Amino acid sequence: QLQLVESGGGLVQPGGSLRLSCAAVGFTSDLHAIGWFRQAPGKEREGVSCIGSGVGSTDYADSVKGRFTISRDNAKNTVDLQMNDLKPEDTAVYYCAAAWGCPYSLNSPPYDMHYWGKGTLVTVSS
């Protein structure tokens, strides 16, 4: 059964960094597009970043461009999200998801991802 498991969340001060990891269980992740999404309390889920299958073109939401970097580690079968210069507004539960392709736009739904992880909480606070 195909599963996605997120890890790496936690509490960080504004301006700090965190690295999230999405582990693919039961399938080879580089055959799928893998995206990161987030949902803050009281808000709708929003797109963050996505990497395509294979060589993998990357895409980012406007809100995280220049601060977040998505990458694959094929040896570990993971997709990582390096988050730098974190801001309080980045506080959310972060989810990874898989599909045959990345969403048309990460700046607005729908996202049409087929498989979702359970999420990992990121809190940015002093």
Q: Any long-range contacts for 7-11 (C-beta under 8 Å, 24+ apart)? A: 7/120, 8/120, 9/94, 9/120, 9/121, 9/122, 10/121, 10/122, 10/123, 11/123, 11/125
CA–CA distance, 87 with 76 (Å, rounded to integer): 29
pLDDT at 29 (0 to 100): 80
Handedness of CA 12, 72, 103, 85 (dihedral sign): positive
Q: What is the pLDDT along the chain (126 residues), one digit of tens a residue?
A: 789 999 999 999 999 999 999 999 888 888 899 999 999 999 999 999 999 988 789 999 999 999 999 999 988 999 999 999 999 999 999 999 999 999 999 999 889 899 999 999 999 999
Task: Name, in order, each residue with C-beta under 8 angstroms of 96's C-beta and a sequence gap of 6 or more.
Answer: 4, 6, 20, 22, 34, 35, 36, 37, 79, 116, 117
